Amino acid sequence: MNPVVPLLAHGPGSGPGRPHRLVVLRHAKAAWPDVEDRDRPLAPRGRRDAPVAGRWLRDQGLLPDLVLCSPARRTTQTWELAAAQFQARIRVHYEEQAYRADAMDLLALVHQAPEEVATLLLVGHHPAVQDLIVLLAGESAGDTLQRVGAKFPTSAIAVLVTTCAWAQLQPGGARLTEAVVPRAQASGSISPSVQRPQRPTEK
């Protein structure tokens, strides 16, 4: 059993051929010190949750071939803590375009991914990552897409599958197969947690 809060159920496959997988990770919980927005570090809870997200990705076999990560401190820390859970060196590009992006900016980054990349991981900010998922998901199981559209909290992960080439991926061109919210207890053990309202300006 995965120690996560499920947002989505698994759905059927996306069709014939080898699919591409786009994994979208919202950064873990950030602190609010008196610094520039891009310099905000992870909060203690975020530093606990980010490795849990990495372990979930590892346990699901979602080893990315390439990571596109915002250069903000909270996103880079999220990826570094998640990446430490893999026994592999993973190629990562820190993309300025992913910071203060909207969904179309993120889609433009996805379009630039090399075609040999089978699993692409995007680490970014709210609301752009949530909007990207909603933009790309042409189908999902039941009302799961609506639930993701309503809430995509810190450290949430969504998995989209498409048979399109990265450069040809368009709105509605993927199937949303799963989304989860890995969480850790303060003690370091893993458990689902109650979602608290976030600050309206948190990204």
* Pair of tokens at residue 90: 């993973």
Instruction: State pLDDT tens for residues 161-175.
Output: 999 999 999 999 999
Q: Any idea which residue has 């947690």 for tokens?
A: 193
* DSSP annotation string for the chain: ---EEE---------SSPPEEEEEEEPPPB---SS-GGG--B-HHHHHHHHHHHHHHHHTT---SEEEE--SHHHHHHHHHHHTTSSS---EEE-GGGTT--HHHHHHHHHTS-TT-SEEEEEE-TTHHHHHHHHHEEEESTTHHHHHHH---TT-EEEEEESS-GGG--TT-EEEEEEEEE-B-TTS-B---PPPPPPTT--
CATH number, domain with residue 65: 3.40.50.1240
The answer to whether position 116 is within a domain reads yes
Q: How many CA atoms lie within 13 A of 117 on its CB side?
A: 24
Instruction: State pLDDT tens for residues 144-198.
Output: 788 889 999 999 999 999 999 999 999 999 999 998 999 875 443 333 333 333 4
The answer to whether position 193 is within a domain reads no
The answer to whether position 76 is within a domain reads yes
The answer to whether position 61 is within a domain reads yes
Residue 58 sits in which domain range? 4-182
What pLDDT is stored for residue 144 in this prediction? 74
The answer to whether position 187 is within a domain reads no
pTM of the entire predicted model: 0.85
Q: Using an 8 Å Cβ cutoff, are 22 and 54 in contact?
A: no
The answer to whether position 57 is within a domain reads yes
What pLDDT is stored for residue 190 in this prediction? 34
Count how many domains the chain has. Answer: 1
Report the C-alpha gap between 119 and 21 in whole angstroms. 5
The answer to whether position 156 is within a domain reads yes
Q: Which residues of the chain have pLDDT under 70?
A: 1-17, 141-142, 185-203
Report the C-alpha gap between 68 and 120 in whole angstroms. 8
